[in-house]
Amino acid sequence: MLPAWAAANIGLAALGGRRARARYPHLICSVSPVIPHYMWNTFILVVLTLVGAYAAFAGLLYFYQGSFVYYPERQLVATPEQFGLRYESVTFNTQDGIALSGWYVPAKNERAVVLFFHGNAGNMSHRMLSLQVFNRLRLSTLIFDYRGYGRSAGRPDEIGTYRDAEAAWRFLTENRGVPPSQILLFGRSLGGAIAAYVASRYAPRALIIDSAFTSVPDLAARFYPFMPVRWLTRFHYTTRDYLRRVSCPVLVVHSREDDIVPLEHGRVLFETARPPKDFFEINGTHNDTLLVTGRRYESGIDRFLMNLVGI
C-alpha cells in the first residue's frame, strides 16, 4: 500500500500536473512527509547498532563455539568402587600422542563389553548410574574421558574426539583382545555421534544411541534460529550421515520430554538407520532420563540385546 503523501501526489499528477499543484498547494504541503534531520540520524544510529550487535554475536558463535560444544570438568567426583563396582584404572594413547584416562568395569558372567562414549559435559565420573545399569545387565564396560576431560591430556575438538574413540577401540581389540563381535558401542548425546562414527568404520556387535542429535548444525538451528548457523558452524558431528554406513543392529533411545535434543532428532536417526533396528522411547528431560525412566530403561536395553543382538 502506498503512503498517503505518495498516493495524493500521484493523484494530483493525474489531474493535471502543474495546474493541479497550483490549484491545490495546501494538499501537497499537508500530506508530504517531513522527517526532522535529527530523527534520521537516530534511525541510522539504531540500525548500525543492531547490525553491529548481530555481527558481533555471529563472530562470538564462530570463534568461541568450542565453549558452546564442550563443557569438560577435570575433577573426578566419584569412582565405581563407591557405587559397589569393581574397576581397573586404564590409560592408553591416541595416534597423535594424547594420553587418555579410563576405567574398565568387569561384569560377572559377561555377555559382552560396552565401549561407552559419554556426553559433552562433566567427565566419566558423572556416569555412575549408567555403569550400574550395564553391570546389572552383565555387560563389562570401558568408559574413558575424551582429551581435555577428567585426567585425560589435551584439549577437545571434533577430530580429536574421533581419534580418542578409535584409540579406545584399539585398546579393547588389540590390548585387551576383545573380539569386535563382543563389543557394543554406546553413545549418549554428543557421544552418540562419536559412537556412530566408530560404528561406521569398524564392525561392532551393536550400536546404542541415547538422546543424540542428527548433527550440530541441525541442533544449533533450534537454539539460534535467527543466525546463519549452517555457515558459521565449525563443528558438525553428523550422526545421521554416519548411521547411513552402519551395518550392525541399532537401538535409538530418546525421550519425548527431552528439553535439549527434541524427540524429532531421535526419530530421524531411527528412520536413517538400517535394519535390524529398534526405537525405545524413555521419559525425563535430557539430563535425568535414567532417574525418571528407572528400571524400564534397563529392561528396554535388555530386550534389544536379546531380540535383535542375540545375547
* pLDDT tens, residue order, the chain (311 aa): 444 434 434 343 444 444 444 554 544 444 445 556 667 667 676 666 655 555 555 555 555 565 668 999 999 999 999 999 999 999 999 999 999 999 999 999 999 999 999 999 999 999 999 999 999 999 999 999 999 999 999 999 999 999 999 999 999 999 999 999 999 999 999 999 999 999 999 999 999 999 999 999 898 777 666 555 666 677 899 999 999 999 999 999 999 999 999 999 999 999 999 999 999 999 999 999 999 999 999 999 999 999 999 99
H/E element, 91? strand 88-93
Give the per-residue SS3 of 31-86: HCCCCCHHHHHHHHHHHHHHHHHHHHHHHHHHHCCHHHHCEECCCCCCCHHHHCCC
Domain region containing 260: 67-309
Within a domain: residue 39?
no
Nine-digit cell string for 218: 541441525
| Co-location of 186 and 305 in the same domain | yes
| Co-location of 149 and 199 in the same domain | yes
Question: Residue 142: which residues within 8 A CB-CB, separation 6 or more?
Answer: 90, 102, 103, 104, 105, 113, 114, 115, 116, 168, 171, 172
The total of structural domains in the chain comes to 2
List beta partners, residue 151: none
| Co-location of 18 and 159 in the same domain | no
Within a domain: residue 274?
yes
Question: In this structure, what CATH number is given to the domain that contains residue 136?
Answer: 3.40.50.1820
Q: Tell me the C-alpha distance between 105 and 290, whole Å.
A: 19
The residue assigned the cell 548500525 is: 48
Per the CB < 8 A criterion, the answer to whether 187 and 233 are in contact is: no
Within a domain: residue 62?
no
| Co-location of 6 and 137 in the same domain | no
| Co-location of 184 and 267 in the same domain | yes
How many Cβ atoms from other residues are within 10 Å of residue 207's Cβ? 26
